[in-house]
Every structure is written in structure tokens, then in C-alpha cells.
Structure 1
């Protein structure tokens, strides 16, 4: 019995010699830290980290680094332009340390004339070769993958191009500067686009490319569809409801201006506005060169919602001109006087020149 007690004592001593050092190691591992709810809490005995002073400019940019807004750079607490280091935004290029538009390298002035209430006036606009070249290089093809784009998607791609929009709005601003009357602004836009020369040479040589509205302004010429897209943009920005009348069979396009139903084309709610040459709004020519009359029903492509234009004055003038034109070449003095006044009021061409010139 005494032997068993001695053996048990020896075993316990040996076991104690093995376990105790492991407990000491565990204590050493947590000597400077305590584990509480999964977080490490540093005791006072731990070495404290030194705070680092991170220096930034007011916009949050670190010292000696580029801002997220190119070409700005943080130098000694000041934001400066440094295009040589930080680069420029899309469609801009470096000029010394500044960024300038890549579309505004070669400017020149275009002048657009118009007739409003019998008085001729003009608007000058600075246009740029680089923007025109950029738009000219854009592909004109559309692919069906698997569905084909709608007519509206195709036309709106030309009207809503983001690169041309700010430059087109400059023309809108110049139109608005002529008068605060929205109706008069719309009349200026219509007359101005009608006076842009028709691109007859390209049409006859089958060299039509489908210009963007800005290209029409740059070239100061365009065909029916191109000029219609330009006018649609201007009228929309002025605030009116706009559509396009597309005649696939006749290969023709005009603008539809939102108007009272009784004056509208085919009770569509939009009045017929020809853009090829100066002509009274709502007047529909009986025949066109090369295409004859517009016999088919057009596809109506809505461009925008907007204000309704009170076109009663133009509608009355158009009916009067239709009546006089139906008489023939010989007019009575009274009818001739009415015809002459209408030609002057709208700046309508006669034999290739403005009647009142």
C-alpha cells in the first residue's frame, strides 16, 4: 500500500512537471493582451503607435499627387493646374499646363441669315474643324444584333450626340438673345434652317453621308433629312413639342411642330414644317423636284414633348398663298399685292433669289 502511494506521488509530480510549463507559455502569450468578445484590446503596457500626419489639399488630394479632377495637382496645400503630369479629361488636350478642348483648335465664323416678319437678320456662330472631323468620322452603319434599331433610335442618335450638344446650344442661346418671345424664337429657328443652302451637289452625285446637325452648321448646307434633324434639335431646346415626318417611299423628311389639332398634318397633332427652302409653315408643296408629290403616309417619329405652338397666323397665310398659286401666272393687282407681301414676310425665294432683294 505504501508502495502504491509512493508511485502515485511520483506520477503526479511528473505530470505536474509536464503541464505547468504549458500553462506558463499560454500566460506569456497573453501577457500584454486580453481576449474579450473576439477583440484585441491593447493594454497600457503595450507600445503605443505614433500618429502620422497625412497632408492634403482642400479637395482631399494628397500633397504632391494629382487630383481626380484633371489636370489639377496638390502642391504645398494649393491646387494648381499641371496637365504635363496629371493629363487631361476625355476630348481635351494639354496646352502648357492647362487643358483645352480637342475640338476647338481651328475656329472660323459661319453666318446664318433669316427673315422674320419681312425683316432680314443674321446670326454668327463660331464653328470648329476638329469637332466636324470627329463627327464626320463616326460610323453611319447600324447592325441588327439580334434586333434592328428603331427609326427613332437612329434619328435620336444624331440629335442627341453628346459631343455636339454644347456647341449646338450656343446657337440656341444666340436665337434666344434676339427675343424673349418663344414664338418668335421658334420662327427664327425655322427661317434660319430653311435659309441654309440645300446640298444639291452631294445629292446629285450620290455622295450623301448623313450629316450630324453640327456638320450642317459647319458646312452651311444640307439635304432635307439633315436640315430636319437640325431644326428638330433647335425647336426642342426652345421648348416646343417636336416630331419628324419620315417618308420612306419618297425618301423625304420634314419636321412636325406640336400645334392645335385643327391645323395639324393629317390630324397628327403636329404641323408640317418644310426645311428644304424658305416656305410658310403648314404649306405643303404640290410637287417636289425629283420626288413628285408626297402621296404616302409618313412615319411619325416623336422627338420631344413640349409646348404647343399657336400656328394660326402661318396657317392662314399658307392657305392664302395656296389660293393665289392656284390662279396661275397672271394675277389681279390685289392678289399680286398679297402675294408680294407674303413673299417678303417669309423671305421666300423666287427664281433662285429672295423676292424682296
Structure 2
């Protein structure tokens, strides 16, 4: 082999070595300085969830009977029946740690058939008036508002009477819609997620409104004209749209004071079924709702890159001699 050939081979090896040791770390961040290293993903990002169980007529079912008042004042009933293995599938799912991504709970795929049946039962197209769409929206809101309130930190919030595997004491445990419907109760984020899922199925643009100690729903309305609008409606502008506040927790308790004749007053809480109307916050006794600007959480969003960094590459200069 000629001396010139040996020099050429040696130069090629040197170039490869230089690219591997110098140029690649400069682009991606070398092991010495850690530059360009992506942060470790959280467990819910790295865990590969098993597929949901297929629908089957032979599967064991869980049933819960519902009875509520419709927006027209009529008492209505419906029985929710779901496959037990699907409920367990959602119950065992790890919770999403970032509230800004909680819209995913309202968009879960496997429970679509059950939510479609729920929307049909709660908000059928039964009003032959120009305001049918508004009545149907209020039917959904009123149904969700009548679900009993139960805190995440209480075992009474769960059908099994024990904390779910993914529950972490002191942290929120947002429920998938199927979980809320099987439990028959939930707190503010649970009812907001359920209402968001139902209204999204009906074609409405909704967002979650997250306050420091509360969560509610926002619904986009091109024209605000609800029948109960004897109040200044609360709304928030976001991405060129206007979203009106919707309370999804227990509807208003009307208190009667009865004078017994002895100078003492008896307080009797009654549920007359007056709904929290769209945009109405007058009776919401939370300072956060009255004064804070909430974080607006869309159900669908595009993840923006956070860790893209380009590092300068040293000028490559090699001299090959004879």
C-alpha cells in the first residue's frame, strides 16, 4: 500500500473521530456540560397504557339509577350501565399531573358511546321552539349541577369506599366522565370535566376555568341571550372568543327562615331546583371566582416545544499532508 493511501485512510479516520467526539456533542450537548439533555419524562408520559376493553354484551355491568329535574321542571329518570372492566380501566389510569392538560379527561375515546346515550337522555331535542339549543345546553348544565358534591379526600367520593390506586393524598384526583357517573358524585373539576365532555359532543366550544381553589366551565356563545339574564354575565376573552362562566357544582340552596313564635328562627335548607344560569356568579360564595382571572384550559391544544436549543458548531478545518 502506498504511503499516500495510508495518509488518506488516516485522515478519514481522524475526520470520523472528530465528528463523533467534537461535532455531535456540540450539536446535542455533550455529557460533560449536560447541554441539550431533555428532562426526564413523568410517569404518565412514559407509561404505555393498555387498550381499553372491547364492548361486549356478555361483560359484567355496573348500573346506577339517576333521578333529576329537567330545565322544564319535570322529573326525569335514567339508568347508567357501563362495563365493569371499562370502569376499572379508567380507575386504574394514572392521573395527569398538569392541570393545563386536564381537557384530555373530557375527550377520552372509550366512553363515547356511554356519553352519547347520556346526552340523548338528558338533553333530547324535545322543545319545538327557536330556543331549543339553549334549552338543551341548560338541561346538561342543570343535570350536572344536581350531582352531589364530594371531595377527593373523602372515601365517600368513590364507589368502592376506598381511595383509587392513583390517588395521592392532598392532590387533586380528576375523574374521567365514566368514573363520575359510576360514583354518582364528585367535586368541581369532576363535574366540569363531565359537562365539558357532554357539551363537546353536542358541538359546543368549551374550556375549563381553573381558579386557585375552584374549577368551572366556560362556554363560547356568539350571542348571549339566556332567559335568566337579569344580571351582568361573567365572561373571559380567550384566543379571539368569548367564554361565559358556567358553575357545575351543586345548584342553589334556598333557605327559609321560619319564626316559631319564640323569637328563634328555624333554618330549613331546600333544593327548589333553580339552576346556576350561564354567566351567573352573583351567588357563588368564592372570592376566587369574584376576583381572580382563571387559567383557561382548552380541551384541545397544540403542544409548544420547550427544549429546542441549537448550539454553535466549531469550524471544521483539517489539513492533510503528503
| Band of TM-score, shorter chain | 0.5 to 0.7
User: How far apart are residue 150 of structure 1 and its match?
Assistant: 7.8
Q: Which runs of 5+ in 1 are unaligned?
A: 1-88, 93-98, 143-148, 306-357
User: How far apart are residue 301 of structure 1 and its match?
Assistant: 2.1
**What residue number does 1:234 align with?**
198
Equivalent-residue separation in structure 1 for 2:288 and 2:243 (angstroms): 23
Bigger RCO (CA 8 Å, 6+ sep): 2
Q: RMSD across aligned C-alpha pairs, in angstroms? A: 3.2
Choose which of 244, 250, 270 in structure 1 pairs with 2:208.
Answer: 244
Equivalent-residue separation in structure 1 for 2:171 and 2:237 (angstroms): 36
Q: Per the alignment, do residues 107 and 251 of structure 1 end up closer, same or farther by CA in structure 2, a change over 3 Å counting? A: same
Q: Deviations over 1:138-157 (max 9, x none)?
A: 01154xxxxxx781xx2232
**What residue number does 1:265 align with?**
235
Choose which of 122, 126, 137 in structure 1 pairs with 2:92.
Answer: 137
Equivalent-residue separation in structure 1 for 2:219 and 2:288 (angstroms): 23
> Structure 1 residue 275 and structure 2 residue 248: aligned?
yes
1:332-347 matches, cutoff 5 A: none
Aligned residues: 199
- What TM-score do you get using the length of structure 2 for normalisation? 0.53
1:257-336 matches, cutoff 5 A: 257-260=219-222, 263=233, 265-267=235-237, 269-278=242-251, 279-285=276-282, 288=285, 293-303=289-299
CA contact (8 A) 1:91 1:101 kept: no
Equivalent-residue separation in structure 2 for 1:243 and 1:140 (angstroms): 19
User: How far apart are residue 106 of structure 1 and its match?
Assistant: 2.5
CA contact (8 A) 1:182 1:238 kept: no
Equivalent-residue separation in structure 2 for 1:176 and 1:271 (angstroms): 20
Q: Per the alignment, do residues 255 and 203 of structure 1 end up closer, same or farther by CA in structure 2, a change over 3 Å counting? A: farther
Which structure shows the bigger proportion of residues in helix conformation?
1
CA contact (8 A) 2:218 2:246 kept: yes
User: How far apart are residue 90 of structure 1 and its match?
Assistant: 6.8
User: How far apart are residue 123 of structure 1 and its match?
Assistant: 3.0
> Structure 1 residue 105 and structure 2 residue 60: aligned?
yes
**What residue number does 2:114 align with?**
167
